[in-house]
Amino acid sequence: MSRDGQTFWLDLAGRRLAGTWVTIRLRDAGSGGVGRFLLDAVSSGPDGSVVQNLPETAQGNDSFGWTGRLPGALLGLRLTPLSRDQPVSVSDLSIRRRRRPSLLLQAFLRQPTLTSKALYWRCLGLKVRARGFLARALGHRGETAYREWIRRFDTLHEADRRRLRREIAEWRDPPLLSVVMPVYDPAPRVLAAALRSVRRQIYPHWQLCLVDDASTDPAIPRLIARHAARDPRIRVLRRDENGHIARATNDAIAMAEGSHVAFLDHDDVLAETALYQVAAALRADPALDLVYSDEDKIDGRGRRFEPHFKSDYNRELLYGQNYINHLTVVRRETLLAVGGLRPGFEGSQDHDLLLRLSAGLDPARVRHIPKVLYHWRAAGGSGTFSDRALARAEAARLRALAEVVEPSGGRAERGPYGFNRLVRPVPQPSPLVSVIVPTRDRAELLAVALDGLLERTAYGPLEVVVVDNDSREPATRDLFARYANEPRVRIVRVPGGFNFSDLSNRGAAAARGSVLLFLNNDIEVVEEGWLRELVSIAVDPEVGAVGAKLLYPDGTLQHGGIVLGIGGVAGHSHLGLDGDDPGYFARMTLSQEVSGVTGACLAMRAGVFAQVGGFDAEHLAVAFNDVDLCLRVRQAGYRIVWTPHARLMHHESKSRGPEDTPEKRARFEAEIRVMHDRWEPQLRSDPFYNPNLSRVSAHFRL
């Protein structure tokens, strides 16, 4: 295998693998990760080389695999790392020829709902087309239960332990990590489990700074003393009086000597590789200030459940909830610079710390490790600090957010389910918003949209630019005549074939407002404050685009933000969920950063739109133009925000119709190719959708 920069090449010409069924397996021998490589087969075509993506799947312990039929005229395999910030290398790459019978048996047994009766009838030879069955089964990317996921992807074997220990032994100057643990009267058995989880770490370069906050149970200091006597890496301090979690934690931080501090509650458990994964991330990027991981819960018997597979760094989401939570690791100097934890914020002391820490923090100095490294004990009787005064904790959380956003004029309000809601100010005087509505006939839909904009929207400076694409029906002419004397409505005529991107660009060119709102003609206003919410976010200098929560007429969710990679290109988050359902860890009730928002309702400053060049009318006339625009906005350094606090109804595609003709299908397929050619690495690695979750749909399932 040869290497050109960060791209790996395996020459397979003359190896007699072209057109054969194979299984390819490889391991990333770098610092660990999920979905690390883009695997392509390169073959010879009449017009040059042809590249075919081979969508490998995770098989656990940083190994990946692909099974399928290689293309003819095969030249070789190309591996392109997707990691933007960590070194990678390849080890244990193997290519195994497969025979059709073994593949059929493998695919047959892989079916997720195969009962014994179904197996009996299939074995009798019911009409199953082998080729189609095999293709469907090998293409299946099923969702699985958490227990099965743990077995397949999160079970450490002795060979893995030996491999990791060998790797760590070769590191020069491995970082010292300080684990801080405040203790106050937990059940002795859960404290013992927490202590064992630290002492059993694969990574040996740690110290545990433990502060007993004047526990009243005499068994606690005896238990702590026994463990400290057995391991000199455990440092212990006992407070004379109970000072609560913030003071006890700060005392533990004062004892810390490591470059970074990891927080561990006295009743929780670290995964065996937790500190190794953190140390590997710090070795790859020593400038990191904040590192955090995925987590799950454990019950009284230690059984794992309710995993939280998180977004990469998402400051907008952090305003609303402490999604970072566990495992959290912070540079010690940074921690001391912000004053550690603050007494008076008990119950939300971690959220308060992260809000202060993240204010002005460069996102490049934050790393999310998409692995379950922390097990949060949910059983009763463990004495968890943050479960004791929920009302006080909620008040502290709101106060923490209010202090952080007060300099920018924002305010903190109680949102759904008790989470925070950040309300941004609208500049005064309020900026003119130009609402750009492409349309062709369907006057009954457009009339509803115009009525909602002009009569049921509580926002003052507003103009509507209707971009008319060859409307011919009398009802549409009558509708335009009705608004002929309305100064807030202008009709821009753009004849020719339907090209949503061109129509939107023409509307933007005619707009007078400093804020542009691209809106479909089948959008219905249902709440008067929706536009104020969008404008307040769109004028934020760090934000490049903002989208709304769109519902179908039956009340189910149509748009909760765009997730890259769904269906090959992109899909809507939580599509079809009940409109009042909170979604995955309340994501559908919280403003958050996303990779894109739908062009059916997309607000942005006119300056940003001009900077990135508007919609791509040449290559993306109808589909994915909004995704492409948002990716260019993010590439320019802006954030994209989706808010649930602007709710609208979307009668989706009623004015354009389905993709049901050969011409439309050919155009759609061409636009898919454009997106893959232009954005393939981004489509395979959405930073706000965890790589452990299924790409079948954006429903946040395993």
- Cβ-proximal residues to 182 (8 Å cutoff; 6+ apart), any chain: 211, 213, 245, 248, 249, 251, 252, 265, 266, 385
DSSP state of 619: T
Instruction: Tokens for 596, please give them.
Output: 């894109």
Task: Identify the CA nearest to 593 among candidates 634, 647, 539, 533.
Answer: 634
pLDDT at 301 exceeding the cut of 90: no
pLDDT at 91: 66
| 664 dihedral zone (left: phi>0; alpha: psi -120 to 50; beta) | alpha
What's the farthest any 2 CA atoms get from each other in the chain? 89
- Cβ-proximal residues to 60 (8 Å cutoff; 6+ apart), any chain: 152, 153, 154, 155
User: How many Å apart are CA 285 and CA 293, to the nearest integer?
Assistant: 16
Q: What does the pLDDT look like over 176-203, one tens digit per residue? A: 999 999 999 999 999 999 999 999 999 9
Mean of the pLDDT values across residues 363-388? Answer: 77
When mean pLDDT is compared across 35-39, 43-47, 447-451, the lowest value belongs to 35-39
Three-state DSSP at 395 gives: helix
- Cβ-proximal residues to 455 (8 Å cutoff; 6+ apart), any chain: none
Question: What's the one-letter identity of residue 24?
Answer: I
Three-state DSSP string of 186-234: CCHHHHHHHHHHHHCCCCCCEEEEEEECCCCCCHHHHHHHHHHHHCCCE
Mean of the pLDDT values across residues 21-46? Answer: 68
pLDDT at 125: 39
Q: Please indicate whether residue 90 or residue 376 has the higher confidence score (pLDDT).
A: 376
User: How many Å apart are CA 209 and CA 220, to the nearest integer?
Assistant: 15
DSSP state of 485: T
Q: Is residue 254 within 8 Å of 261, Cβ to Cβ?
A: no
Q: What does the pLDDT look like over 526-566, one tens digit per residue? A: 999 999 999 999 999 999 999 999 999 999 999 999 999 99
Q: Is residue 313 within 8 Å of 366, Cβ to Cβ?
A: yes
Q: Please indicate whether residue 349 or residue 10 has the higher confidence score (pLDDT).
A: 349
Whole-model pTM: value is 0.83
pLDDT at 136: 46
User: How many Å apart are CA 645 and CA 666, to the nearest integer?
Assistant: 38
524 φ/ψ angles, rounded to the nearest 5 degrees: -120, 130
Please give the sequence-ordered ranges of beta strands (E in DSSP) within 146-202, or none if there are none.
177-183
Share of the chain above pLDDT 70, in %: 84
User: Which is it for strands 366-377 and 269-270: parallel, antiparallel or unpaired?
Assistant: antiparallel
Instruction: Tokens for 221, please give them.
Output: 């200091």
Q: For the chain, which domains are there?
A: 2-153 (2.60.120), 162-408 (3.90.550.10), 433-683 (3.90.550.10)
pLDDT at 446 exceeding the cut of 90: yes
User: How many Å apart are CA 576 and CA 590, to the nearest integer?
Assistant: 18
Arithmetic mean of pLDDT over the chain: 87
pLDDT at 134: 47
pLDDT at 86: 56
| Buried b / exposed e along 611-624 (16+ C-beta atoms within 10 A) | ebebbbbebbbebb
Confidence class of residue 94 from pLDDT cuts 50, 70 and 90?
confident
pLDDT at 31 exceeding the cut of 80: no
Confidence class of residue 525 from pLDDT cuts 50, 70 and 90?
very high
Q: What does the pLDDT look like over 623-640, one tens digit per residue? A: 999 999 999 999 999 999
Q: What does the pLDDT look like over 197-218, one tens digit per residue? A: 999 999 999 999 999 999 999 9
* Most confidently modeled range among 6-20, 66-80, 473-487: 473-487
pLDDT at 359 exceeding the cut of 70: yes
DSSP state of 242: -
Q: What share of the chain is helix, strand, coil (3-state, %, to 5)?
A: 35, 25, 40
pLDDT at 144: 62
Helices (H), 256-389: 274-284, 315-320, 332-337, 349-358
User: How many Å apart are CA 445 and CA 442, to the nearest integer?
Assistant: 6
User: Which is it for strands 74-81 and 7-11: parallel, antiparallel or unpaired?
Assistant: antiparallel
User: How many Å apart are CA 610 and CA 625, to the nearest integer?
Assistant: 15
Confidence class of residue 127 from pLDDT cuts 50, 70 and 90?
very low
Share of the chain above pLDDT 90, in %: 69
Q: What does the pLDDT look like over 379-404, one tens digit per residue? A: 644 444 444 567 888 999 999 999 99
